[in-house]
Amino acid sequence: MGEIIQEEKQKGGKRRPKKHSTHIDMTPMVDLMCLLITFFMLTTAFSKSKVMEIILPEKIDDPNIERPVIQDSRTINVILGPENKIFWYPGRVKDSNNPPALKETDYSAEGIRVLLLERNKLLSKKVISFKEQMVKENPTMSRDSLLANIKRFKKADDSGPIVLIKAYKESRYANIVDIIDEMDICSVVRYAIVDINYVEEKMVQTAMAGSTTTPK
Amino acid sequence: MPKIKLHTKSPHIDMTPMVDLFSVVLTFLMLTTTMRQPEPAPIDTPFSVSDKTAPDANIMTLLLSEDNRVFYNIDNGSDTSFHFKGKILTEMGTRYNITFTPEEVKQFEAYPSSFGMPIQNMKSFLNTKDAKEREALQVKGIPIDSTDNQLALWVLVTRLVNPKVQACIKGDNDAPYPLVKKVLDIMQDKKVNRFNLITNLEATKVMLTEE
């Protein structure tokens, strides 16, 4: 801008042809651009949010429809407790007066994941080795066909655990997402979110009372 | 020995390349930007390993906040010619005997974020411009108790107007489970069984122990 003002001054006086540089001072422009870039960078949501899809079983209103029966030996009951704790027991409660002991674990990689992978060894090994093999031999394979192949494995599987997820009333939304996520990581096929029943609530309460007395 | 003439240079730096670069970056950012919409309540979404991207059109999003409030948002994407949002609001109005003026409907269509108030407060919500007042109207969220289950009606009306709509749930980490269960129950009563839980991406590695 300085140059332009200078030019006007000289017009009035002696008319001496003076070579002017054609440079325009770009500093204000750069300043403005910097500000705009910063603004856009801060307001932009670059990564689109991700979603985890869950499909819940339809509610059965008709009492005549037979409910599926599941084997006790394959069942794991996972109870999402308060304070980010997980309690689990295998099978089902046979005698409500003498319920099975709850085992406590957590959401970390050494917690519930170890248990689920152990139970689901056959399938998860298959899935992981298949993935590795595809990376080595056929890296151009499209994601969709890879997923379709894995889905086929999952469908054929009939030895993996059936996980019943039951949330205690004091658990949080993050717990649900975490546990469904764990199912995904351990490629557990059969899991369902089930209402917690009275006996199990009692079991959690006694387990919590027991665990609070022990120092953390 | 001739004197070496040192060229006195002006201290100006040529900023043209810098400006060029800046304009490219600026244009890029301006074209790709999708403005982050401010949410009526702070929502901290949980992490998961899922890498499926969220759908960007025909979604209804339920916001579950940590303090037991439910918010609702309908997003029909860039396709505004159908005026789904407006139709949904008018339909909701007729069910509760509230008539919305065309200006109010327009306001509602333009409102980009989630809302959470009883339908009776919707009129004053749309007519105020003040962010503080709007916040005050949303202290309760959408009623979900069985006596006046407005959320169920919102979902029903949305699905009637736009059958293609998908359900998304954006819950806060600390949203209590009973609320989540209640909302899922309401949705399932309205025959919505497929949900997209909005999460952040987290990388995990599975370690399988060899025996």
Amino acid at residue number B79: D
Amino acid at residue number A85: K
Does any CB of chain A come closer than 8 Å to the CB of residue B48?
Answer: yes
Closest CA to A203 of A178, A176, A166: A166
CB A7 within 8 A of CB A24: no
The three-class DSSP label of residue B171 is: strand
Between CA A106 and CA A104 the distance in angstroms is 7
Shared domain for A187 and A141, answered yes or no, is no
Q: Phi first, then psi: give them for residue A172, nearest 5 degrees.
A: -110, 170
Asked whether the predicted pLDDT for residue A49 surpasses 60, the reply is: yes
CB within 8 Å of B39: residues ≥ 6 apart: B63, B71, B113, B114
Determine the residue among A107, A172, A195 to mutate to test chain B binding: the one whose Cβ has the most chain B Cβ atoms within 10 Å: A172
Closest CA to A100 of A90, A109, A85: A90
Which of B33, B176, B196 lies at the smallest CB-CB distance from A43? B33
CB A170 within 8 A of CB A81: yes
What pLDDT shows up at residue A137?
78
Shared domain for A176 and A213, answered yes or no, is yes
> With bands split at pLDDT 50, 70 and 90, how would you rate the model's confidence at B200?
confident
Shared domain for A170 and A216, answered yes or no, is yes
CB B29 within 8 A of CB A40: yes
The three-class DSSP label of residue B140 is: coil
Hey, where are the domains in chain B? 80-201
pLDDT in tens, A154-202: 777 777 788 888 888 888 888 888 888 888 888 888 888 888 888 888 8
Long-range pairs for A62-69: beta carbons < 8 A, 24 or more residues apart: none
Does any CB of chain B come closer than 8 Å to the CB of residue A41?
Answer: yes
pLDDT in tens, B77-127: 666 677 788 888 888 888 888 888 888 888 888 887 888 888 888 888 888
Chain B residue numbers with beta carbons less than 8 Å from the beta carbon of A57 are 193
| CATH number for A216 | 3.30.420
Between CA B62 and CA B65 the distance in angstroms is 10
CB B152 within 8 A of CB B188: no
A170 lies in some domain: yes
pLDDT in tens, A113-131: 888 888 777 777 777 788 7
Q: How many CB pairs under 8 A join A and B?
A: 168
Shared domain for A213 and A169, answered yes or no, is yes
DSSP state of B6: P
Total number of domains constituting chain A:
2
Does any CB of chain A come closer than 8 Å to the CB of residue B194?
Answer: yes
Shared domain for A152 and A111, answered yes or no, is no
What pLDDT shows up at residue B205?
53
Shared domain for A78 and A111, answered yes or no, is yes
Between CA A171 and CA A150 the distance in angstroms is 32
Shared domain for A198 and A109, answered yes or no, is yes
CB-CB under 8 Å, B177 with A169? yes
pTM of the model: 0.73
Shared domain for A143 and A113, answered yes or no, is no
The owner of tokens 């109207």 is: B137
Shared domain for A135 and A147, answered yes or no, is yes
A202 lies in some domain: yes
Which of B53, B178, B195 lies at the smallest CB-CB distance from A169? B178
Mean pLDDT lowest for which of A2-6, B12-16, B146-150, B185-189? A2-6
CB within 8 Å of B161: residues ≥ 6 apart: B84, B87, B88, B91
Asked whether the predicted pLDDT for residue B134 surpasses 60, the reply is: yes
When comparing pLDDT for B70 and A96, which is higher? B70
How many Cα atoms are found within 13 Å in the side-chain-facing hemisphere of A41?
Answer: 9
A60 lies in some domain: no
The three-class DSSP label of residue A132 is: helix
DSSP readout, B14-79?
A: --HHHHHHHHHHHHHHHHH--BPPPPSS---PPEES--EEPP-SSEEEEEE-TTS-EEEEEE-TT-
Between CA A165 and CA A176 the distance in angstroms is 9
DSSP state of A172: B
Q: How far apart are the first and last CA of chain B?
A: 86
Shared domain for A98 and A167, answered yes or no, is yes
pLDDT over 90 percentage in chain A: 0
Chain A residue numbers with beta carbons less than 8 Å from the beta carbon of B29 are 37, 40-41, 44
Closest CA to B97 of B67, B122, B130, B66: B122
Does any CB of chain A come closer than 8 Å to the CB of residue B143?
Answer: no
Chain A residue numbers with beta carbons less than 8 Å from the beta carbon of B14 are 23
Asked whether the predicted pLDDT for residue A12 surpasses 60, the reply is: no
Q: In what order do the strands lie in the sheet with A75-80?
A: A103-105, A86-90, A75-80, A162-167, A190-194
A173 lies in some domain: yes
CB-CB under 8 Å, B64 with A173? yes
Shared domain for A115 and A174, answered yes or no, is yes
Give the residue numbers spanning the domain of A132: 121-159
How many Cα atoms are found within 13 Å in the side-chain-facing hemisphere of B47?
Answer: 8
Chain A residue numbers with beta carbons less than 8 Å from the beta carbon of B12 are 23, 25
- What ipTM score was computed for the predicted complex, to two decimals? 0.73
The pair of structure tokens assigned to B86 is 């407006």
Nearest chain A residue to B171 by CA distance is: A173
Between CA A101 and CA A10 the distance in angstroms is 97
Shared domain for A171 and A100, answered yes or no, is yes
Task: Find the helix or strand (DSSP H, E) in which B206 lies.
Answer: none
